[in-house]
Chain A
Amino acid sequence: MLTIRNLHASVEDTEIIRGLDLEVGAGEVHAIMGPNGAGKSTLARVLAGHEDYRVTEGEIRFLGRDLLAMNVEARAREGIFLSFQQPVEIPGVNTAQFMLAAVNAIRAHRGLEPLDGRGFFALAREKLALVGMDPSFLKRNLNEGFSGGEKKRNEIFQMAMLEPRLAVLDETDSGLDVDALRVIARGVESLRAPERSMLVITHHQKLLDHLVPDRVHVLRDGRIVASGGPELARRIDAEGYGWIEEA
Chain B
Amino acid sequence: MALDWLGAVPEGGPEGLRARRAAAVAHLAEHGLPGRKDEAWRDTPRRAILAGRPGAPRPVEVPVLAGVTRVVVGEDAGGAGASWLRPWRGAPPAGLFDEATPEAPVEPGVEAVNLALAAAGVDVDLPAGTDGGVLHLAHAGVAARHRLRLGAGSRLVVVEHHLGGGGLRSAVSRVEVGEGAALTWLQLVDLDAGTHLLGRVAAAVAAGGRLVARSLLLGGGLLRAEFPVTLAGAEAAADLGGVGIAGGDDARDHLTLVEHRGDRTRSEQRFRYVLDERARGVFNGLVRVVPGVAGIEAHQGARGILLSDEAEVHHRPQLEIRADEVACTHGAAIGGLDEEALFFLRARGLSAEDAARLVLRGFAFEVLDGWPEDAGRAWAEAALGRRLGQGGS
Q: Tell yes or no: B47 within 8 A of A by CB.
A: no
Known contacts A93-B361, A105-B354; A72 and B366 CB within 8 A of each other? no
**A88 adjacent to B341 (CB under 8 Å):** yes
CB-CB contacts below 8 Å: A30-65 with B: 48-51
Minimum CB distance partner of A75 in chain B: B347
Considering only residues 77-117 of chain A, those with a C-beta below 8 Å from chain B are: 77, 81-82, 84, 87-88, 90-93, 97-98, 101-102, 105-106, 109
Residues in B whose Cβ lies below 8 Å from that of A141: 362
A50: which B residues are within 8 A, CB to CB?
343
Query: Taking the complex as formed, is B53 at the interface, i.e. its CB lies under 8 A from any CB of chain A?
Result: no
Say whether, besides A92-B365, A101-B350, A102-B348, A72 and B343 are in contact (CB < 8 Å): yes
A20 at interface by CB-CB < 8 Å: no
A84 touches B346 (CB 8 A): no
Report yes or no: A88 in contact with B340, Cβ–Cβ below 8 A: yes
User: Once the chains bind, are B364 and A90 in contact (CB under 8 Å)?
Assistant: no
B residues less than 8 Å from A184 (CB atoms): none
Judge whether A17 is part of the interface by a CB distance below 8 angstroms.
no
A73-B352, A101-B358 are known contacts. Are A48 and B347 too (CB-CB below 8 A)?
yes
Q: Which of B308-358 contact A (CB under 8 A)?
A: 338, 340-341, 343-352, 354-355, 358
A207 within 8 A of B: no
Does residue A158 face the partner (Cβ distance < 8 Å to B)?
yes
Q: Which of A101, A109, A142 contacts B354 (CB 8 A)?
A: A101
| Contact B365 A72, beta carbon cutoff 8 Å | no
Bin chain A's interface residue count.
20 to 34
Tell me whether A102 and B350 are in contact in the complex, defined as CB-CB below 8 angstroms, given that A50-B343, A84-B344, A88-B340 are known contacts: yes
Q: CB of A67 within 8 A of chain B? A: no
Q: Which residue of B lies closest to A101 (CB)?
A: B350
Cβ of B362 and Cβ of A73 under 8 Å apart? no
Interfacial chain B residues near A81, Cβ < 8 Å: 347
Chain B's interface size range is 20 to 34
A185 at the interface (CB under 8 A from B): no
Q: How far is the CB of B382 from chain A (nearest CB, A)?
A: 16
Q: Which residues of B approach A to under 8 Å, CB–CB?
A: 338, 340-341, 343-352, 354-355, 358-359, 361-366
* Complex CA–CA separation, A75 to B351 (angstroms): 11
Q: Is A29 at the interface (CB under 8 A from chain B)?
A: no
Taking a contact as CB atoms under 8 Å apart, the answer to whether A90 and B350 are in contact is no
> Cα distance A195–B345 when bound, in Å?
24
* Shortest CB distance B342–A (Å): 9
Interface residues of A (CB under 8 A from B): 48-51, 71-73, 75-77, 81-82, 84, 87-88, 90-93, 97-98, 101-102, 105-106, 109, 141-142, 158, 162
Contact between A88 and B349, CB atoms less than 8 A apart: no
Contact count A vs B, C-beta below 8 Å: 75
Residues on A with C-beta less than 8 A from B343 are 48, 50-51, 72, 88
Residue in A84, A87, A106 whose beta carbon sits within 8 Å of that of B349 in the complex: A106
Contact B344 A162 (CB under 8 A): no
B355 CB to nearest A CB, Å: 8
Contact of A109 among B344, B349, B352 (CB under 8 A): B349
Contacts of A93 in B (CB 8 A): 358-359, 361-362
B362 touches A105 (CB 8 A): no
Name the B residues within 8 Å of A97 (CB-CB): 358
Q: Which residues of B contact A91 (CB under 8 A)?
A: 362-363, 366
Whether the Cβ atoms of A102 and B366 lie closer than 8 Å is no
Quote the shortest CB–CB distance from A2 to chain B (angstroms). 16
Contact, CB under 8 Å: A88 / B344? yes
C-alpha gap A49/B352 in the complex (Å): 13
Q: 9 smallest A-B Cβ distances: which pairs?
A: A92-B362, A93-B362, A102-B348, A92-B366, A72-B346, A105-B349, A76-B349, A88-B344, A106-B349
Chain A residue nearest to B354 in the complex (CB): A101
Q: Which of B347, B349, B364, B365 has the most CB of A within 10 A?
A: B349
B351 contact set on A, CB distance < 8 A: 73, 105
B384, chain A: closest CB distance, angstroms: 11
